[in-house]
Structure formats: structure tokens, C-alpha cells
Chain A
């Protein structure tokens, strides 16, 4: 019998074991202070290791922050690290709109005072067949959805990245139709594995990783995990997403990690874990099959790629 990490640790304990910031008021306070010091707490490596799956090792802070796809800052892997210096994520507000009871703009600090920051160690699998293991800090997207209070007609959620070409050099050219947009089905968005992240390794998110707040959906290819979110829109139809719009034959709306459905130009059966020499076999739903496969019951995943 296969033993899952979730069998060893009850799920509720697993995700709530450690709260970095105790008390809602303190959360807002330490957030605003940390912006100046770039780190609000020291990363707890022992805790991250505890949350790690058996075959994984954590990628280093350097790996996670110098090798990124974030075309808003350039198309090279090191461009986001090099070109994101003048991006200023403070102050930050998020617009909640669409099919919800009371559309509103919420201040990020206010939002953070309403949620609890948790640790999540997730694998991240890029559609380009490389992967990393990242200790995120963030909160369940479902919490925000509850705050937004959507109408029952809301079946999908669309996210939008900020458009700020004066601070994001990549946006000065139309390499992609800006602003970057992504979407999830509402049940995917409500899934307990789906988080909005505000930090990694105990640091506030650096600009190249999507500061100050980004989505993390660990069973989908990395480009679904949209960065630097300013708008969250509740809609009734499958929303547009940037990569499927740009190259519909190569990237689908679902984009679940699937070793059996190849990208038209390359195989998805293996991946290079950053920091490792030999390729690994790519796992179905990036290893989260047990938790998420029920969302896609009866769906032809070759068709809904």
C-alpha cells in the first residue's frame, strides 16, 4: 500500500501546524514592517523538511529567485531577477468584481489581517519540463472567495496581473497580450491545495516571484499560477487565459500536469528537477492525483488539456 504524506499527518494539522504570525493585528503590522526589511521572519528549514514528500528535496532560495518565467520582466530565465528591481508592490490593492454580492477593492494589508498565513511545500512543474520544490507561505484561496461572497452563478474565477509597463520592461513590447490573465474553475479555486502566496522561504515574495501576491496551483503547469494579482473576477463562463489565447494548440485552459498528454513540441513524460542531473518521471497531476483527480472525473484529459 502506498503511504501518502497526508495519511501520516492529518490534513488539517498538516496545513495549520505552524502559523508564522499569531493574531490578525500582528499580521498586518509585521507585513508593513517587513516590506522595509525584506524579511519578516527567518525561514524554518526544519519545518519545511517536515512538510516535504519523501522523494523531494527543497530547491534553494537562490534557485527559486534567479530562474523564473515572468515575461513582464523579460523572456530570459534570469531576466525577472535582473529587471524587476524598480517594481514597487507597495501599497497594493486587489479588485474583487464580477458575479459577487458586493464588488469591492480590498487593501492587501486588510486582506492579510483576515487570513492566516500557512506553510505549504509544493512541487512546481513548468510546462517547459523543469521543476522545483518550493516552501511557500500563503493562505487558502477559498478564504478569499468566501470574503468575496460570489453569487451562485459564478462558475469560474479569472485573475489578472498588474499592467505597469514603466516598471515592467517586458510589458513595453507586445510579446504577449497584456495584462496577463489566468483562470480556474470555481471548484479548482476552492480546492484546499490552491493558495494565494505572499512569501517563500519565510521572506515576502520577491518581485521576480510575483510580489506581493500570487496564485499557486501545484497540480497545474506553472504558468497557471499567475503572479502579481490585481483583479479577481467571478464569471459564469470559462474565462480567457493568456497562453491558451496565444497558442491554443499548445496550451489549454486546464493545463493539468499530465505525463500522458505531450506538448505538441516536446514530451511531458519526464522533467528536469532544478539542481538534479538525471531527469525524473513526471507524476500525474504533479503527484497530487490523490487530492485532485476527483475534480476531473469523467473528463477526457486529452481533450481538456
Chain B
């Protein structure tokens, strides 16, 4: 059994594991080790990391319902916040590195390009989640309301995986797997929360 104690004790290690890629890529970016199109490479890595972390939080939510994995819930917030951290870096690199503050172009891009629209909405959806992530916010909002807000993670997950799916030209297997996983977890949720209780009555 994965104990809460074990997880708490190793939180710092997990923290460093999650922050390391961003430090490594920044270093590689500056030292020229990201290949000949480093901006594209950096944006891809940051975005992919963010999407994977979002999916990780969904897995934790579902897996933590099994008793022997319940302790996983201890690190869900941290992983969620890291997902937001990588989304922010991804978005900032789009604004600063890719388009160098060409705000007019960026606004047009966000409105006109569905895949960028999806990415942007996904970023917006994560803002309330990140800003109400603390225990005091749960108290303030009440657990039920807080939880409702946090279902936005599914919107963010679906839109960002579609964002990825639309970006690639033909190698759509990886994004398709992510979309599949997210839908699977969402269906499981719906089953657990809505269908199963109805049926049990």
C-alpha cells in the first residue's frame, strides 16, 4: 500500500522531478542544445509536459478512489499547479519567443485559428483552478462549489488534447491516445457520479 506518510516524505523529491525539465530546457534553449529551431522545440516540450501533467491529475482523481492508492491525492494539487506552470511557460513562449509581443497578430491568431483558440480557452479554464487550489479556498467556497469549479479540468484536458491533435500534420497517434485516455476517465467519472448512484437507488 502506498502510504500517505511515504508520499508526504517524498513530496520534495517529486517537486524537484517536476521542476527539473523546465530548468533543463531553459538551459538547453540558452546554450543552443535544442536544435536549429529552438523556439519550436521549447514550445512543443512545454506544451506536451503540461498536457501530460493535466492527464496525470485526472488519473490521480480516479485512482485515488481505490483504497490502496488513496494517498495519491496528496500530490494532486502539486501536479495540477505544475501543469498550470508549464501551460503558463508554453503560453509565454508563444507570446514572447514565437511572436515577440506582436499582440495584434496574437489576438487575430487566437480568434481565427481553432487550434489556438482551444489552447487559449484551456489556459483560461485553468486559471480559476490554479487560483483556488489552497485549502482556505475550499473552505471559503464550500467543498461542493469548489469541486464543481474544478470539473473545469476536464474542459481544459479535452481542449488541450484537441489543440495538440490539430497541431500535428499526420502523426496523430500520440494525441489520439491522450484524447482517448481523457474520454475514458471522463466516462468513468460520469458513471461513478451519476449513473452508478441512480442505479444503486
A residues in contact with B102, CB < 8 Å: 279
For A269, give the chain B residue with the smallest CB separation.
B105
When A and B form their complex, which 8 residue pairs have the shortest distance between CB atoms, in order from nearest?
A: A63-B36, A67-B36, A75-B171, A175-B170, A274-B36, A278-B100, A265-B115, A274-B37
Within the complex, which residue of B39, B166, B171 is in contact with A175, where a contact is CB–CB below 8 Å?
Answer: B171
Q: Could you tell me the dominant secondary structure of chain A's interface residues?
A: loop
Binding site for B on A (CB under 8 A): 62-63, 66-67, 71, 75, 77-78, 128, 130, 175-176, 246-247, 262, 265-267, 269-270, 272, 274-275, 277-279
B98 cross-chain contacts in A, Cβ below 8 A: 272, 279
A78 to B114, CA, bound (A): 28
Contact with A along B52-89 (1 / 0, CB 8 A): 00000000000000000000000000000000000000
Question: Please, which residues of chain B bring their CB within 8 A of the CB of A277?
Answer: 39, 97, 100
Q: How far is the CA of A279 from the CA of B105 in the complex (A)?
A: 12
For window 87-134 of B, CB contacts with A under 8 Å fall at 97-100, 102, 105, 108-109, 112-115
Partner of B36, one of A75, A176, A275: A275
The reply to whether A67 and B170 form a contact with Cβ atoms under 8 Å apart is no
B170 touches A130 (CB 8 A): no
From B37, B105, B113, B167, A272 is in contact (CB under 8 Å) with: B37
Q: 4 extra interchain contacts, Cβ-Cβ under 8 A, other than A128-B169, A267-B112? A: A77-B35, A266-B115, A277-B100, A279-B100
B45 within 8 A of A: no
Return chain B residues, CB-CB under 8 Å to A62: 36
- Smallest CB–CB gap between B79 and chain A, Å? 27
A130 and B37 contact, CB distance less than 8 A: yes
Return chain B residues, CB-CB under 8 Å to A130: 37, 40
Provided the pairs A265-B113, A279-B99 are in contact, do residues A272 and B39 lie with their beta carbons within 8 angstroms?
A: yes
CB-nearest residue of chain A to B41: A77
A266 engages B113 (CB within 8 Å): yes
Q: How far is the CB of A114 from chain B (nearest CB, A)?
A: 36
- Chain B residue contacts of A63, Cβ below 8 A: 36
Inter-chain contact A78/B113, CB cutoff 8 Å: no
Known contacts: A270-B105, A279-B99. The answer to whether A78 contacts B35 by CB under 8 A is yes
Describe B's contact surface by its main secondary structure.
Answer: helix
Name the residue of chain A whose CB is nearest to the CB of B168: A75
Known contacts: A265-B115, A277-B100, A279-B99. The answer to whether A75 contacts B37 by CB under 8 A is no
Chain A residues near B112: list those with CB within 8 A: 262, 267
> Complex formed: what's the CA distance from A230 to B97 in Å?
41
Roughly how many angstroms separate A247 CA and B168 CA in the complex, as a whole number?
Answer: 13
**Chain B, 138-175, contact with A by CB distance < 8 Å: what is the 0/1 string?**
00000000000000000000000000001101110000
Neighbouring A residues of B39 by C-beta, 8 Å: 272, 277
Q: How far is the CB of A295 from chain B (nearest CB, A)?
A: 27
By the criterion CB–CB under 8 Å, are B113 and A267 in contact?
A: yes
**Shortest beta-carbon distance from B148 to chain A in Å:** 33
Question: Nearest residue in A to B99 (C-beta to C-beta)?
Answer: A279
Are B170 and A75 neighbours in the complex by a CB distance under 8 Å?
Answer: yes
B167–chain A nearest beta-carbon distance, Å = 8
Docked CA distance A184–B55 (Å):
45
C-alpha gap A66/B115 in the complex (Å): 28
Question: Which residues of A are found within 8 Å of B40, using beta-carbon distances?
Answer: 130, 272
B37, B97, B113, B115: which contacts A77 (Cβ < 8 A)? B37
CA distance A186 to B37 in the complex (A): 35
Q: Within the complex, what minimum Cβ distance (angstroms) separates A218 from chain B?
A: 20
Complex Cα–Cα for A155 and B39 (A): 42
Q: For residue A175, which residues in chain B have a CB less than 8 angstroms away from its CB? A: 170-171
Given A67-B36, A272-B37, A246 and B170 contact (CB-CB distance below 8 Å): yes
Residue with the greatest number of chain B CB neighbours at <10 A, chosen from A63, A75, A265, A277: A265
Closest to A76 in B: B171
CA distance A266 to B110 in the complex (A): 10
Interchain CA distance A75-B6 in the complex, whole Å: 41
Complex interface: chain A residues within 8 A of B105 (CB): 267, 269-270
A175 to B172, CA, bound (A): 10
Q: Is the CB of A176 within 8 A of B170?
A: yes
What separation, in Å, do the CA atoms of A78 and B35 have in the docked complex? 8
- 30 A-B pairs in the complex with CB atoms less than 8 angstroms apart: A62-B36, A63-B36, A66-B35, A66-B36, A67-B35, A67-B36, A67-B37, A75-B169, A75-B171, A77-B35, A77-B37, A78-B35, A128-B169, A175-B170, A175-B171, A246-B170, A247-B169, A265-B113, A265-B114, A265-B115, A266-B109, A267-B112, A270-B105, A272-B37, A272-B98, A274-B37, A277-B39, A278-B100, A279-B99, A279-B100
